[in-house]
Amino acid sequence: MILTRSFISSYFLINDINRDFIENYKMAAEAISSTGVMALREPPEDEKKQQNQKISIAAVQNKLSIKDIVDDVFKEYPDLATKHKQRISESMVDLINDEGGMTEAEIKERTKKMISAYM
């Protein structure tokens, strides 16, 4: 596969804190410019596992809590009484703990079903 960019300009902005990165990037850019080829190495298995762990940790940190997801659904039902919201929130936490986890979409769907029982 060949990528061409006849009319697009790209700029890579960085600060000068990490000199090693800048030097590595500069050497790679020069090699690509002179040879027209990007030489890459496949990382060893332990490095792949380490990177996957970092990605997983970042994904978990970006996830919303159960309360945040349920509260987000409550915004769609402004007339729902506070006491009902509290009961639903507690029920959702219990339900998720009993079932061993749910996706965000499943939490929203179950919350809406519970809300419909109160409306």
Please report, for the chain, the start and end positions of each structural domain, with discontinuous segments joined by +: 63-118
Cβ neighbourhood burial of 51 (10 Å; 0-12, 13-18, 19+): exposed
* pLDDT value at residue 59: 55
pTM, to two decimals? 0.48
CB 66 within 8 A of CB 105: no
pLDDT by residue for the chain (119 residues), tens digit each? Answer: 455 556 666 777 777 777 888 888 888 888 888 888 877 788 899 888 888 777 666 556 667 778 888 999 999 999 999 999 999 988 888 888 777 677 888 889 999 999 998 87
In a 3-state reduction of DSSP, which class is residue 26? Answer: helix
